Amino acid sequence: MGEDNPFSRALAAYVEAVLAKDVDAFAALYDQDIHVFDMWGTWSIRGLAAWRDMAAGWFSSLGDERVVVTCDSADSTVSEDLAIGHAILTYTAVAPDGIALRSLSNRATMALRRTGDAWKIFHEHTSAPIDHQSQQAIPRRGDG
């Protein structure tokens, strides 16, 4: 995937916005009618205002920590006005002194559509496998 790939550009901008805890930059990636199936707390989130509120709450909860997001196994399919991509995203909380505090990974799928000259995410789905015995999410990537 090259720099001209809208999914790759969205991932790179996502990584930057999260690291900077920049709610405006984060929200700018998404369409007004975004629909997110998120792993955390709610079944789904609809609309940019609600998704922006989620980001504001997330970023403010970090205090002086930052979150470094790394992407692995990214792949996408792009047509003239639609891009669908998936990746493994690893979120690592980092203290102000650069020490990694904790980390987890999840699987992310994003659907983007072209509106004029811009590509916006209109659907995002995050997940993690569930352990059958404990019924708990597995937030660390295993082999495969």
CATH of domain 6-127: 3.10.450.50
Res 3: pLDDT: 63
C-alpha torsion angle, residues 108, 144, 68, 98 (rounded to 10): 160
Question: Looking at residues 102-126, what average pLDDT do you find?
Answer: 94
Give pLDDT tens digits for 13-65. Answer: 999 999 999 999 999 999 999 999 987 778 899 999 999 999 999 999 999 99
On the question of pLDDT at 11 being above 50, the answer is: yes
Give the max Cα distance, the chain: 48
124: CB partners within 8 A, 6+ apart: 30, 34, 35, 36, 37, 38, 108, 109, 110, 111
Cβ atoms of residues 115 and 121 within 8 Å? no
Question: Looking at residues 2-6, what average pLDDT do you find?
Answer: 79
| Angstrom distance (rounded) from CA 58 to CA 42 | 14
On the question of pLDDT at 142 being above 70, the answer is: no
| Angstrom distance (rounded) from CA 12 to CA 94 | 19
